[in-house]
Structure 1
Amino acid sequence: MDSIERNQTCWCGSGLKYKKCHAEFDGKLRSFKAKGITVPPRSIIKTPEQIQFIRESGKVNTAILDHVSRHITAGMTTEDINTLVYNKTVELGGRPAQLHFEGFPKSVCTSINNQVCHGIPSADVVLEDGDIINVDVSTQYNGYYSDSSRMFTIGEVKEEHRRLVETAKECMEMGLQQVEPWQRIGNVGAAINEHARKNGYSVVIEAGGHGIGLEFHEEPWVGYVTRRDTGMLMVPGMIFTVEPMINMGSRNVFTDENDGWTIYTSDGKPSAQWETMVLVTETGHEVLAW
């Protein structure tokens, strides 16, 4: 952590003197670091101005998912969903963050039934009565990034599949409850894993959440099979996603060798995921995209 004189302008961009702004905050970080606890680098602690821009991006991302919610139905293709997302994003002045990210070919991820995540939209994949699907939207708006996803049940869904979807949402919500300043990020995954296992489900280990805002993917990586009081310290100004993938059967997964993106459950049983983007505040947390 770079040293700064107390009367110099604070590193956060507030325009205040360091002693009136982040001096106490940095001292607290140093005390945790001295105890061997991983603390976040300044690069992922957002300034008030950055937070406001990211908040606006999150509003756009949420509006896009609301748009999908109003139109998704049996008989449409996942490519239709891709078109909905692309057109609404552009209409609202944004850009789909997923489009061409590391070679991803579409504007949204659509993951059906036993697809865990990163499903690629296709004109050949038609939503059918009884399907469950995750629609994962990511947006770049005025240069700032946001990311969230929702599960949708299509028509008459089996009760056991509906229960999976509902429990996955509960897992995400329980993870959110653990987002508090000056606590450890491992608490998030521990709460999620405990609730999933209590309900007879498993949690995917290989995929997790991530920091976001100035870039699409930033530190920290957020795992969901963790122990309490482990991992990076959560501090005000950090923004990351909470997005556990909950499997009905085994936690084991594999990536489609043909498209290089889509992750499936190894046993063919369904998986469900909800994702939200959260800001750590002085008193708790704020959901920025839902």
Structure 2
Amino acid sequence: MSQVEIKSKDEIALMREAGRIVCEILDELEKAVAPGVTTWELDALAEKLIYQKGAKPAFKGYLGFPCCLCASVNDEVVHGIPSKRKKLVSGDLMKLDFGVVYRGFFGDSARTVPVGKVSREAQALVDATREALQKGIAAMVPGNRVGDIGHAVQSYVEARGYSVVRDFSGHGIGRKLHEKPEVNNYGPPGQGMKLRPGMVLAVEPMVNLGTHEVALLDDDWTAVTLDHKLSAHFEHTILVTEGGPEVLTRRA
């Protein structure tokens, strides 16, 4: 198994800064989410704020992705491309997946924002996905294994009648956006790489109201639920420490 990079104190300090910037910009984007706003306007705001804070976009140009923000609405699971034609309406679920590079280190986070008044069913899905991420984070203690994270997420989600997307996973993060190990949101406990202090992982459950299966749209980026039911997504960048997990992309 390939070696996973253990971050030094100096590297962790830079990743804390990257994480703080990601969180602050997501806070501003969340405030801007409202009926009538286009996903293109949200992306433009994200790009402006990135440069104001002395960072660079993590996603724009990555494998050819055209924007700073992945903006996925309703049945779009992840990697939605912002568009001037996509105007939010009350009842939508807006998924903001966003990252920056700061002095050579990446931060990555996602949240699902209800637009205006959403259905009880939609709100329950959002709440369960947010909590599933917390269950995954709680499993990130030294001596546990990567599989314990996915097991914690899957157990929580499926007990509530939802499904976990299997086509996308979390990942190590640092000098690259995607590093080893892969962090699945499902699977048996006690499997995979052992967690050690200094590891930094991006954990990101994507949870569907119906089937876990997804399909790719013709833009070759946007993944949608196969049954076109709602999906929610939350993500944090997390440091493993002797004292437990430290979330780098959470409000201080």
TM-score (norm 1): 0.85
Indicate yes or no: 2:195 matched with 1:269: no
Q: CA deviation at 1:129?
A: 0.7
Indicate yes or no: 2:20 matched with 1:56: no
Q: 2:96 is matched with which residue?
A: 135
**Counterpart AA for 1:128:** V
Q: In structure 2, how many angstroms separate the alpha carbons of the residues matched to 1:134 and 1:44?
A: 30
Q: In structure 2, how many angstroms separate the alpha carbons of the residues matched to 1:188 and 1:264?
A: 24
Q: 2:42 is matched with which residue?
A: 81
Matches within 5 A, 1:16-55: 41=3, 44-55=5-16
Larger radius of gyration: 1
Q: What is the DSSP-based 3-state SS (H/G/I as helix, E as strand, rest coil) of the residue aligned with 1:166?
A: helix
Q: In structure 2, how many angstroms separate the alpha carbons of the residues matched to 1:285 and 1:193?
A: 19
Q: 2:106 is matched with which residue?
A: 145
Q: CA deviation at 1:67?
A: 1.0
Indicate yes or no: 2:120 matched with 1:159: yes
Matches within 5 A, 1:1-290: 41=3, 44-256=5-217, 258-290=218-250
Q: In structure 2, how many angstroms separate the alpha carbons of the residues matched to 1:115 and 1:84?
A: 21
Q: In structure 1, how many angstroms separate the alpha carbons of the residues matched to 2:173 and 2:223?
A: 22
Q: CA deviation at 1:285?
A: 1.1
RMSD over aligned Cα, in angstroms? 0.9
Which one scores higher on RCO, CA 8 angstroms, separation ≥ 6?
A: 2
Q: CA deviation at 1:70?
A: 2.0
Structure 1 ranges of 4+ moved more than 2 A = none
Q: In structure 2, how many angstroms separate the alpha carbons of the residues matched to 1:86 and 1:226?
A: 36
Q: In structure 1, how many angstroms separate the alpha carbons of the residues matched to 2:122 and 2:184?
A: 24
Q: What is the DSSP-based 3-state SS (H/G/I as helix, E as strand, rest coil) of the residue aligned with 1:231?
A: coil
Q: CA deviation at 1:121?
A: 0.2
- Residue by residue over 1:237-279, the C-alpha shift from the partner in whole angstroms, topping out at 9 and shown as x without a partner, is 10011101000000011111x2110000000101001000100
Unaligned runs of 5+ in 1: 1-37
Q: In structure 1, how many angstroms separate the alpha carbons of the residues matched to 2:30 and 2:161?
A: 29
Q: In structure 1, how many angstroms separate the alpha carbons of the residues matched to 2:26 and 2:78?
A: 16
**Counterpart AA for 2:240:** V
Unaligned runs of 5+ in 2: none
Q: In structure 2, how many angstroms separate the alpha carbons of the residues matched to 1:183 and 1:190?
A: 11
Instruction: Give identity over the alignment, percent.
Output: 37
Q: In structure 2, how many angstroms separate the alpha carbons of the residues matched to 1:228 and 1:129?
A: 39
Q: In structure 1, how many angstroms separate the alpha carbons of the residues matched to 2:233 and 2:33?
A: 17
Q: In structure 2, how many angstroms separate the alpha carbons of the residues matched to 1:175 and 1:199?
A: 16
